[in-house]
């Protein structure tokens, strides 16, 4: 197996940069935002699969991982994360399911909550990734570059909602030190990145609008217009909002007639693996890049870059 020249140059640049200065992640609101209206979402109760989930899976199907088996544990771990035999699960987030509908009951009322990446204004996952595989785009979405991701899961560790999911047996680590470094590739919603750069809406939003018409559960548009709608509905309908201040602010705004502290409690009592805490604070200053972790991360990157360089040099000599 061989790495591409692009991967080699990318890793070398990342390692060098991390040795000199830590990455900064400045708050940026982005161009677009989404409203997820829980007063309108019925979870597509008459459908075998919620249409937003179905649209997401169909649109991203070609990007889902196909691991090389048998998958080997990597030192010092004795196991690995493999969802490839559970790719049909739609009741949680997986590397094959980037959006799911969380179903809870609050005070006798059934609620359906579409869950996926919140696309934070100041995403700790971008700052926390030691390999530079995560970036925040001008449109407001955060994106994982699967060709650079080692599956270290730091992004999931610092995400208040634990959104990114890992699949072993795929990715760059398989080409370098599969027994000693890496863990796979992390996957999550990127808001249909190739669509929104063209001004198109994400696949999930289009599917929701096609089903519910004039009152869909999902709205997508320019951020200032989305904020205007959110403010207007909160004032006129007395709705609760989530995502405006959590984790320093996000590009996803939930609207609900039920208070989110009650929703959070119901999710917690259900022991769902994807929480929805209301007191989410940004981990950027608290947990990311203290000097010890910075040095460890930089050292690891240097080792990786050295291995990559050796492989590339060996390949070049063979080609001469």
What is the rounded CA–CA span in Å between residue 111 and residue 170? Answer: 36
Q: What is the pLDDT along the chain (320 residues), one digit of tens a residue?
A: 455 555 545 555 544 444 433 444 567 889 999 999 999 999 999 999 999 999 999 999 999 999 999 999 988 888 999 999 999 999 999 999 999 999 999 999 999 999 999 999 999 999 989 889 999 999 999 999 999 999 999 999 999 999 999 999 999 999 988 888 789 999 999 999 999 999 999 999 999 999 999 999 999 999 999 999 999 999 999 999 999 999 999 999 999 999 999 999 999 999 999 999 999 877 665 555 444 344 444 445 555 555 555 554 554 455 45
For residues 199 and 116, give the distance between their C-alpha atoms in angstroms, rounded to a whole number.
20
Q: How far is CA 158 from CA 146, 187, 198, 227, 283, in A?
A: 19, 15, 30, 26, 7
Would you state the pLDDT for residue 10?
53
Those residues whose C-beta lies under 8 Å from the C-beta of residue 212, and which sit 6 or more positions away, are 40
Domain covering 27-288 in this structure, CATH number: 3.30.70.20
Instruction: State how beta strands 252-256 and 32-37 pair.
Output: parallel
Q: Which two tokens stand for residue 120?
A: 């934070």
Closest CA to 159 of 73, 254, 277: 277
Closest CA to 152 of 124, 171, 175: 171
The pLDDT assigned to 291 comes to 40
């Amino acid at each position: 197996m061989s790495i591409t020249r692009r991967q080699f140059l990318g890793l070398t640049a990342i390692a060098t940069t991390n040795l000199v200065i830590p990455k900064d992640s400045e708050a940026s609101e982005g161009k677009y935002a989404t409203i997820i209206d829980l007063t309108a979402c019925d979870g597509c109760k008459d459908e075998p699969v919620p249409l937003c989930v179905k649209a997401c899976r169909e649109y991203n199907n070609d990007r889902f991982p196909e691991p090389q088996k048998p998958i080997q544990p990597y030192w010092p771990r004795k196991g690995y994360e493999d969802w490839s035999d559970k790719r049909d699960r739609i009741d949680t987030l997986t590397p094959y399911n980037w959006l799911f509908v969380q179903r809870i009951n609050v005070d006798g009322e059934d609620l359906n909550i579409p869950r996926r990446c919140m696309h934070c204004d100041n995403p700790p996952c971008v700052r926390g990734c030691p390999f530079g595989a995560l970036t925040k785009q001008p449109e407001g979405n955060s994106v994982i570059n699967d060709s650079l991701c080692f599956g270290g899961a730091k992004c999931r560790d610092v995400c208040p909602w634990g959104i990114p999911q890992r699949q072993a047996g795929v990715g760059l680590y398989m080409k370098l030190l599969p027994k000693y470094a890496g863990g796979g590739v992390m996957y999550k919603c990127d808001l249909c990145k190739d669509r929104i750069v063209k001004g198109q809406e994400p696949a999930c939003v289009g599917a929701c609008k096609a089903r519910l018409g004039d009152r869909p559960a999902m709205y997508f548009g320019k951020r200032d217009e989305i904020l205007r709608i959110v403010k207007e509905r909160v004032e006129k309908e007395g709705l609760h909002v989530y995502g405006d201040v959590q984790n320093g602010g996000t590009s996803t705004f939930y609207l609900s007639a039920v208070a989110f502290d009650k929703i959070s409690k119901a999710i917690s009592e259900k022991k769902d693996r994807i929480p929805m805490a209301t007191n989410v604070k940004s981990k950027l200053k608290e947990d990311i890049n203290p000097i010890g972790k910075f040095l460890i991360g930089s050292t690891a990157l240097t080792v990786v870059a050295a291995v990559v360089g050796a492989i590339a040099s060996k390949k070049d000599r063979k080609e001469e």
